[in-house]
Chain A
Amino acid sequence: MRPQRLTMTAFGPFAATEELDFRLLGSHPLFLINGPTGSGKTTILDAICYALYGETTGHERDGGQMRSHHAAPDVRTEVCFEFALNAQQYRIRRWPEWARPKARGEGFTTQGAEVLLERLLPDGGTEVLVPRKITQANTAVVELVGLSAEQFRQVMVLPQGKFRELLLAPSDAREKIFEQLFGTSVYTRLQSLLSEEALRLQRLVVELRQRVRGLLSGVAVADTMELAALCASVEASLAAAQAEGVLADERLQAARLALEVAKRDDALFRDLESAERVLSGLEEQRQAREADRVLLDLARMAAKLQPQRQRLEEYRAEQTVSQENLAQAQTLLAGASAALKDAEAARQTGAQRQPELEALQARRLRLEDQRRTVTQFHQVVTARAQCEARAAECAAQVTTLAAARDAAGVALGTLRESLDALGRRMETLHDAPVKLETLRTALEARRELDRDLADLAARQRELEQTGTRVAVAAEALRTAIVQREMLEDAWQGGQAAILAAELRSGEACPVCGATHHPGPAKPTATLPSEDEVKRQRAVEENCRLRHDEARMAHQRLHDVTERLQAAIAHRMTRLDMTIELPELQSRFDAMRIACDELQACREKHADGRDDENRQMEALAALGVQWQAAENSFREASRELDRTRDRLADLAIAVPEELRAAGALEAALSAVAERIREIESDQRVAEQRLLDARGAHSQAEGTLTARGETVAVVSARVREAEAAWQAALTASPFTGESAWRAALREDAEIVAREKALRDWEDAVSSARGVRNDRLAQVQDRSRVPLLPLETALEGAAAAAKKVHETVGELLERRSALGAVAGQVNQLQDELARVETAYGRLGRLSDQANGRVGLKLNLQRFVLSVLLDEVLRQADARLHRMSRGRYRLLRREGVLDGRRKAGLDLDVEDAYTGTTRAVATLSGGESFIAALSLALGLSDVVQAHAGGVHLNTLFIDEGFGSLDADSLDLAISTLVDLQASGRMVGIISHVPELRQQITTQVTLVPSGNGSRLRVIPRG
């Protein structure tokens, strides 16, 4: 797998897009990735690992962790890795999960991780190999590259700090890596296949044996020899039975033949008998047949008379019908008469009600007259009701108004009370404003006073300071004076001494003029110069000046302070100091509240007055209203009385029962109703009478007509009877009953005739048959059948039995034959399988390491591979350590129980002993790990089916090497590169930067790192 180009966007420390074109470095370069710490050197490896597998070399999968912190929030993290593998170009792009700023609105949405694996076609196009599914892509990559993420890390990349993993890994882990890299699982598979086969064969043997046993026991023998004997015996029995069978068949055949002959003869005789029987039967019928013939003749004759009889019957029927009709007409007449009588009676009753009718009509007239009066009465009643209503209304109004007036009066009273209360309150507060002002001034004055006091305190502090300064200056002055005096004394003393030195006894002293010098001045040790004295004087002056200044300042300040104090004292006399400031403040506040209250009361009072006025007006209005209502009420009462009087007058004229509204109308209508009723009854009765009369006359007519019909029909009947009697006498029939007896249906006649004819034919044919049969049995005899039949049965039974036996024996023979055949077959197979099992069992046992050296196939292969890897690694290590170290395998491989077969040791030529690889120092173990990795890749290359590892990355580790080792490591890597591999080194070691000129430099800046490729050349 050879990298071509790596593009990283917003990944690790790269804020924008950085591209690393491996092709610029040469076809198989040895190049250096360098840059300061944190610039992203390891990130390049991480990016390759991540692009391929979705994990970085440090196992971080978190998209957030891989994203550059310097990237703009809308730039998506992406890693694009192009690589060449097996003469094909591939490109894989991966985007980790990221929080994208929302297109609309605030905040972020999470976009999931994605991947895209493509093959780059020579014409520039791309072929997508895997759609954007992460697990699929990961599997595809593992298949392509031939290594899982874990193995990639361990074999192709020697990452920072982890290079020792492969070196120090326990045997199992190393075994697994080798398995994957070299594809030795085929051997494991072979082992298990052999094992499975052997087991299968074993089972097969067992099965076959069982089947043989089963077959043998099925025929109740213990072994094959018995089986053979059994077969032989069965053969013999079969032959005997077959011979017997033949004999039995012959016997049977003879018996059958005899029986047939006898049966034939017997049949002929029986036929003759039956023919005789038939004939005699037919003969017996002769008499009956004759009788039939006579009957038939009579029937024919009777038929002739039929029509006449029929006619007679018809006429009789007619007669009956007409008589019935007559009866019916009579009934009808009777009914009509009755109805007529009823109708007349009714009319009579009707006529009797006439006076009642007239009375009712008179009453109606009277009621009409009274109509007018009644109407008036009703009107007055209504008027009265209206008056009453009005009166009530007025009364109600009066009461409500009265109540309202009272309420208003009460309200007014309360209002006046409250106003009085307000007035009193105002009284009490009237002097509040004045008091407020006094308090205000007092408060302000106190505040000023406080300020002044504070000021005073400050000044006093200052005064202290100036006082100290004064004291200091004074001190200085004193010291200066003292000093000066000292110096002056000294000087003078000195002068004196100088002078004294020149004093001669007897000479005048220039100072005092004395000539005696008892005690001349002695020179002091330290004679100051005049300059010194002058200087000291100046110093003294200076000090004095300063002292004066300080004093003056102090004095000024003192004055100021005094004035201030005086002012304060003055002020305090004018104030009332008994009260504290807070107390004063609260009094002030209270007074302010009181003022506010006073103002409010005033306002309320004014409002109250207005209300009072309004209410008084309202009260007056209510009074007026009430008066008006009273007046109208009295009016209404008077009206009501008048109406009542009128009503009483009218009541006299109207009778009681008519007073009710509508009573007159009701009476009128009742009367009218009754009149109508009576009149209609009368009309109905008239009509009934007319109808009844009509019906009666009609019924009479019908009766007459029907009587005439009856007479005619009767006459006809009499005629027909006479004719019939005549015909009957002329016939051979004795009477009517005889004739009827002889009468038959036509169909019956025909049938009987046919029967008769048939019988005659049958008789003649039966006779003919009988004669034939008689001729047939002329010279035969009759033999009893039963004995022959019995004999036949016996022979048949015997033959059957024999044949059954034969059949059984045949079956048995074939069954045994089949069994024997199967047994032989099985035994052949068994032999074959056993030999095969023997072979395969041995193969399997050896391959699975169950016998002998207990080394299985896979372990063997692995140890071969490891030896090879170690050989390569050892050679490199030997060279890189200049012959000091050798890499060995720990002994004990052939003990298959212990898995220690792939552990590594190191032999140190300087000490002559062997120790574990874990004891190597940092630099040494780096070289050992490098050798191992290189050895591994060599062997993997050579092994058929192995993965092509022609790229190697080494992340740090060179820093732990001393100068010589570093040179040796470099030369090893140079060799490696010369053999066609790409080797990438990540290191910050400066020596490497000098030695390896093909570089990828990483430059960090304020926002992310930049990448620069320095190609070879």
Chain B
Amino acid sequence: MKILHTSDWHLGRQLYNVSLLEDQRHVLMQIVEIARTRGVDVVLVAGDIYDRSVPAADAVALLDDIIHAFAELGIALVMIAGNHDGPERLAFAGRLLARLGVHITGPLLPTPEPVVLQDAHGPVAFHALPYADPPTVRAVLGVDVQGHEQAMQALVANLRERQPPRCRSVVVAHCFLDGYAASESERPLAVGGVQTVSAACFEGFDYVALGHLHGPQARGAAHLRYSGSILKYSFSEEKQRKSITLVDLDGDGRCTVEQVDLTPLRDVRTVEGLLADILAAGKQDSQREDYIQARLLDERAILDPMGKLRAVYPNALHIEMVALNRTGDGHGPSRDALARGEMPLFRDFWRAVTDEELDDDDARIVAGMLERIHAGGES
């Protein structure tokens, strides 16, 4: 069985208020092409299809086109809702679509039946486990779980009950595995508290297609992995290779994994240097349309750097003035000074206005007055 594993499409997402829809469409069409040329049987999308629970109209239209493309090619599709999606909206007409080989799982079901597909070697059960937070798990399954770990264990136990015997199994899930690396663009799953899940939850499945983390990664076992997002969604992902994962599942349940790179329409990268140099280099840059973040090393203030930059890089998104980032000013004493108390503050004041140190006699006078103020209850 040839499986194409991808996730975190985030349709409708904006980067610095610029819509990436066009870029998303470009990359998704690539994926469709890959699926077609490589004879993929099933495409797994492990969550975060949309960027918002109420997605923009053009994002919905794009998804419509992509699903249609896969359906036209006769490739099965297994899609789950991630923490960004609105489950009910995503899974609209899910039961009808399932008849056409498009399996979208949105809301958490108490009795989730796996999607069973046949290949030359027999059946493969695909368990679609959409994202659910612990309160939802408590409500739907009726078990008392605290935290994401316990919730995931309960959910996986629920799935195992429904695993057909003597059948290869694949799980599609959306979570944050302990020990894996996040980038800037993932939204935290739990505000305060533990949002991670241990890898031990997913033991016993032949392949686990994960989504949520935008960097493609696997630690140790090859069959338990993240495909990563299809585009760079923040400058922290600049160094990552955006890709989809092709998995060849043989009859014994062993996986052969291959990552196929994706080529974006416009890359996301950082340029660094003095503004003048950047502008000069930019004129010759073939990739001028890329989404650029500029880190300027200029020491003096520049007037309208963004305007100048956009003249050369029309899609410049952000400027950082590295050299002028002063972290601490010498305008006065620091936070510690404040905590020290009144006498030291007076000394600082004296130093500031007279350029001399306060001598002992004067200090005594001031200290005596402060005592009077505090003792007399005047303040």
Bound-complex Cα distance A967 to B13 (A): 13
Q: Which residues of B sit under 8 angstroms from A871, Cβ to Cβ?
A: 328-329
Q: Which residues of B sit under 8 angstroms from A863, Cβ to Cβ?
A: 331-332
Is A846 part of the binding interface, using a Cβ–Cβ cutoff of 8 Å?
yes
A860 and B135 in contact (CB under 8 A), knowing A193-B372, A909-B321, A974-B191?
Answer: no
Q: Which residues of B sit under 8 angstroms from A911, Cβ to Cβ?
A: 303-307
Q: Which residues of A sit under 8 angstroms from B118, Cβ to Cβ?
A: none
Is B352 part of the binding interface, using a Cβ–Cβ cutoff of 8 Å?
yes
Segment among A102-110, A360-368, A696-704, A995-1003 that sits at the interface with chain B: A995-1003
The reply to whether A189 and B378 form a contact with Cβ atoms under 8 Å apart is yes
The reply to whether A884 and B318 form a contact with Cβ atoms under 8 Å apart is yes
How near does chain A come to B303, taking the closest CB pair, in angstroms? 5
Bound-complex Cα distance A913 to B302 (A): 8
Is B273 part of the binding interface, using a Cβ–Cβ cutoff of 8 Å?
no
A913 and B192 in contact (CB under 8 A), knowing A964-B14, A994-B83, A1014-B135?
Answer: no
The reply to whether B307 and A997 form a contact with Cβ atoms under 8 Å apart is no
The reply to whether A944 and B339 form a contact with Cβ atoms under 8 Å apart is yes
Bound-complex Cα distance A30 to B346 (A): 40
How near does chain A come to B351, taking the closest CB pair, in angstroms? 11
The reply to whether B362 and A843 form a contact with Cβ atoms under 8 Å apart is yes
Q: Which one of B302, B306, B328, B366 lies within 8 Å of A190 (CB-CB)?
A: B366
Mask, B183-210, CB within 8 Å of A = 1, is: 0000110111100000000000000000
Mask, B23-49, CB within 8 Å of A = 1, is: 000000000000000000000000000
Interface residues of A in 907-965 (CB under 8 A from B): 909-913, 939, 942-944, 962-964
Segment among B51-59, B98-106, B238-246, B260-268 that sits at the interface with chain A: B51-59
Is A269 part of the binding interface, using a Cβ–Cβ cutoff of 8 Å?
no
A910 and B319 in contact (CB under 8 A), knowing A194-B369, A843-B362?
Answer: yes
Is A1016 part of the binding interface, using a Cβ–Cβ cutoff of 8 Å?
yes
The reply to whether B339 and A1017 form a contact with Cβ atoms under 8 Å apart is no
The reply to whether A991 and B52 form a contact with Cβ atoms under 8 Å apart is yes
The reply to whether B332 and A963 form a contact with Cβ atoms under 8 Å apart is no
Q: Which residues of A sit under 8 angstroms from B179, Cβ to Cβ?
A: none
Q: Which residues of A sit under 8 angstroms from B51, Cβ to Cβ?
A: 963
Is B320 part of the binding interface, using a Cβ–Cβ cutoff of 8 Å?
yes
The reply to whether A189 and B373 form a contact with Cβ atoms under 8 Å apart is yes
A187 and B321 in contact (CB under 8 A), knowing A871-B329, A1016-B193?
Answer: no
Q: Which one of B16, B191, B303 lies within 8 Å of A977 (CB-CB)?
A: B191
Is A865 part of the binding interface, using a Cβ–Cβ cutoff of 8 Å?
yes
A867 and B52 in contact (CB under 8 A), knowing A846-B354, A964-B17?
Answer: no
The reply to whether B135 and A1017 form a contact with Cβ atoms under 8 Å apart is yes
Is A266 part of the binding interface, using a Cβ–Cβ cutoff of 8 Å?
no
Is B256 part of the binding interface, using a Cβ–Cβ cutoff of 8 Å?
no
Q: Which one of A193, A197, A978 lies within 8 Å of B373 (CB-CB)?
A: A193
Q: Which residues of B sit under 8 angstroms from A293, Cβ to Cβ?
A: none
| CB within 8 Å: A-B pair count | 156
Interface residues of A in 833-870 (CB under 8 A from B): 839-840, 842-843, 846-847, 852-853, 855, 857, 860-861, 863-865, 867-868
How near does chain A come to B240, taking the closest CB pair, in angstroms? 19
The reply to whether B191 and A839 form a contact with Cβ atoms under 8 Å apart is no
The reply to whether B346 and A857 form a contact with Cβ atoms under 8 Å apart is yes
Q: Which one of A855, A878, A912 lies within 8 Å of B302 (CB-CB)?
A: A912
Q: Which one of A183, A194, A944 lies within 8 Å of B379 (CB-CB)?
A: A183
The reply to whether A883 and B306 form a contact with Cβ atoms under 8 Å apart is no
How near does chain B come to A774, taking the closest CB pair, in angstroms? 97
Q: Which residues of B sit under 8 angstroms from A840, Cβ to Cβ?
A: 365
Q: Which residues of B sit under 8 angstroms from A843, Cβ to Cβ?
A: 362, 365-366
The reply to whether B349 and A860 form a contact with Cβ atoms under 8 Å apart is yes
Interface residues of A in 977-992 (CB under 8 A from B): 977-978, 990-991
The reply to whether B54 and A910 form a contact with Cβ atoms under 8 Å apart is no
How near does chain B come to A1016, taking the closest CB pair, in angstroms? 7
Please name the residue on chain B nearest to A889 by beta carbon. Answer: B331
Is A882 part of the binding interface, using a Cβ–Cβ cutoff of 8 Å?
yes
A913 and B362 in contact (CB under 8 A), knowing A29-B192, A186-B342?
Answer: no
Interface residues of A in 73-106 (CB under 8 A from B): none
Is B353 part of the binding interface, using a Cβ–Cβ cutoff of 8 Å?
yes
Q: Of residues A183, A868, A942, which shows the largest number of chain B Cβ atoms within 10 Å of its Cβ?
A: A868
How near does chain A come to B248, taking the closest CB pair, in angstroms? 36
Mask, B78-122, CB within 8 Å of A = 1, is: 000001100000000000000000000000000000000000000
Is A479 part of the binding interface, using a Cβ–Cβ cutoff of 8 Å?
no
Please name the residue on chain B nearest to A878 by beta carbon. Answer: B325
Q: Which residues of A sit under 8 angstroms from B146, Cβ to Cβ?
A: 1017
The reply to whether B191 and A30 form a contact with Cβ atoms under 8 Å apart is yes
Chain A interfacial positions (CB closer than 8 Å to B): 26, 29-30, 183, 185-187, 189-190, 193-194, 197, 839-840, 842-843, 846-847, 852-853, 855, 857, 860-861, 863-865, 867-868, 871, 878, 882-884, 909-913, 939, 942-944, 962-964, 967, 970-971, 974, 977-978, 990-991, 994-998, 1014, 1016-1017
> Can you spell out 22 A-B residue pairs with CB atoms less than 8 angstroms apart?
A187-B345, A190-B370, A194-B366, A197-B369, A839-B362, A843-B362, A843-B365, A846-B350, A857-B349, A861-B349, A865-B338, A878-B325, A883-B319, A911-B307, A913-B303, A963-B14, A974-B192, A977-B191, A996-B191, A997-B190, A998-B191, A1016-B192
6 other A-B residue contacts (CB within 8 Å) besides A186-B374, A867-B332, A964-B15: A864-B345, A871-B329, A909-B306, A912-B301, A913-B303, A962-B14
